[in-house]
Chain A
Amino acid sequence: MKGLLIISGLGILAMLAEIFKFKKLLLPLVLIGIVAAYAFNFMEWRNGFGISYFDNMIAFDKMAIAFSGIIIATSFFWFILANDYFEEDSNLVDHFALVLFALVGALMLTAFNNMTTLFLGIEIMSIPMYVLAASKKKDMKSNEAGFKYLIMGSFASAFLLFGIALIYGATGSFDIMQIRTYISANADHLPMFFYVGVVMMLIAMCFKVSAAPFHFWAPDVYEGSPTLITALMSTVVKTAAFAAFMRLFLVGFANVSETWTGILSVVVALSLIIANFSAAMQSSVKRMLAYSSISHAAFMLMVILANVRSNISVDAIIYYSLAYSIGSIAAFGILYNVGRSGGEDISAFNGLGKRNPLLALCMTVAMLSLAGIPITAGFFAKYFVFITMIGTSYKWLLILAILTSAVGAYYYLKVIIAMYFKEQDSELAVPVEKSNSLVIIVTTILTIVIGVVPGFVAEMFKY
């Protein structure tokens, strides 16, 4: 909770920076603030069952703190990566404030305990993201991405709200614990519209995590937005949306799981197939990463499916989002640097192995991690998901996931092949700023470290 308050304070501070003329100091201040937020967040880990605030509307239990930690750490790397993105623009402070407020929404989503905070968290996170997606004012693609994101986002929010209203009508409460108790006490005579409400909330949340068949907005939005904003969307926003998805369905609606597990397993299967086959056909790396994020969404949804009955191995999803966030930050950081000089097409990576050996090596590790190939974090992330799936009745999904992962390896390897085995006319190295290469190298090392000692990291999240 202190982390949430610190980041809200930072957002307000960022808005004041223009008036009191300390724009130059803002980035160091924000970085210090984020480190402080992380430290306070970490200290709350010892609280055991967590403390709830505002009449039990927000409760920071261990799950919330673990997800908040991932989000805050990712945003720390992101701010270092994005320092020159902010400098290019005249409205520097506005962007800072928008990103910070989006983070506030994300942290709220990890810890919500009431439908009100769920809705407010989603909106506080999404509205700044709409603006950021459209933040390249002259670029028509960016405008279009922002507009599509806005329409699809508010359409999904409307579904979410209608679902909330129906569930409130049936149970008489917005508190997810009270809803849970009410469901288990009155399981036999819940009105029909209650189940409709659960399904509508499921659809809305699938929209938010961009799972097929509600994914169609994601590739367009990811492609049109500025690359760094795409990085933020596919790490922070996605992690937060998953934390919310998990809490809502595993805590709130665990007792009516028959209503939603069937639909969810179809969603997972469709996401795996559509995302991996579409990604294999893309020529733009950014669009490929967008589709790959849909397939990663499917993996994380699989953990939710596996945990319906047991509710024990939540650590698999936390490990997965950690591995995925760090790998994505590295991949998008490299794409941002390469894209500035050569475009976002896969041919921009041609011959990168000769021109920037270090950058190419980092990209290789990031791609291998996203593909789930051993000694990287991505391998164990997938491995833990498979382990949790084995004991369940969704073995067909497990087989499908393994098969589509093979397709996945193909398009990740395409980038690696382009870097090492394809010639390019220009021998000029891609210029990379010091701070950017630092972030890229650190995240690459983290990817390997988390992959080498997976047990240690997974143990950390067990409780």
Chain B
Amino acid sequence: MINGISINMYLMLSTILFIIGAIGVMARRNTIILFMSIELMLNAVNLLLVSFSVLHNDSSAQVFVFFIMAVAAAEVAVGLAILSMIYRNVKSIDTDLLSNLKN
């Protein structure tokens, strides 16, 4: 129980957010939206970690959340750099164009 709301509610909310993110990664074709979906998945994890942290009365999970935020920022920075490189080569950011490597 956190502030009168059962932990299962927090668990359910972050699971739903995570699944929305996962579906976004698998279903969407626009690469920017892919990045947004991955961010959504990571933020679902952050929410879950913070609520468990309050539940256990233990701050280590909140430190973990900072690590996740920093790493997510680094990942997106690298991703956008690669994306701008791709855009320079093919003038598009649609994932359908990324199919040169196939059996």
Binding site for B on A (CB under 8 A): 115-116, 119-120, 123, 127, 130-131, 134, 137-138, 140-141, 143-148, 150-151, 154-155, 157-158, 161-162, 164-166, 168-169, 172-174, 193, 219-220, 223-224, 278, 281-282
Contact = CB atoms under 8 A, between A and B. Distances in A.
A221 B61 CA distance: 33
Contacts of B100: 140-141, 144, 224
B contact patch SS: helix
A131 B22 CA distance: 23
Contacts of B86: 140, 143-144, 147
A29 B45 CA distance: 41
Contacts of A155: 22, 25, 38, 41
Nearest to B83: A147
Given A137-B85, A147-B83, A161 B74 contact: no
Given A158-B38, A174-B60, A130 B78 contact: yes
Given A140-B90, A144-B99, A162-B48, 18 more contacts: A123-B75, A130-B82, A134-B82, A141-B100, A143-B89, A146-B82, A150-B79, A154-B38, A157-B71, A161-B45, A164-B64, A165-B48, A168-B52, A169-B7, A172-B56, A219-B101, A220-B102, A223-B101
Contact of A127 (B11, B67, B74, B89): B74
B27 to A, nearest CB: 13
B42 A158 contact: yes
Nearest to A221: B101
Contacts of A193: 11
B101 A161 contact: no
Contact of A169 (B21, B25, B55, B64): B55
Contact of B78 (A131, A141, A144): A131
A contact patch SS: helix
10 contacts: A119-B68, A130-B82, A131-B82, A140-B90, A144-B101, A165-B48, A172-B56, A173-B60, A174-B61, A278-B103
Contacts of A119: 64, 67-68, 71
Q: Give the size category of B's interface with A.
A: 35 or more
A154 B45 CA distance: 13
Contacts, number: 123
A123 B74 contact: yes
Contacts of A168: 49, 52, 56, 61, 64
Interface string B13-29: 01000100110010000
Contacts of A166: 48
A346 to B, nearest CB: 15
Give 6 closest A-B pairs by Cβ, nearest first: A158-B41, A220-B101, A169-B52, A161-B45, A165-B48, A172-B56
Contact of A174 (B18, B21, B64, B101): B64
A143 B101 contact: no
Contacts of A162: 18, 41, 44-45, 48
Contacts of A131: 78, 81-82
Contacts of B14: 165
B38 A116 contact: no
Contacts of B74: 123, 127
Contacts of B38: 151, 154-155, 158
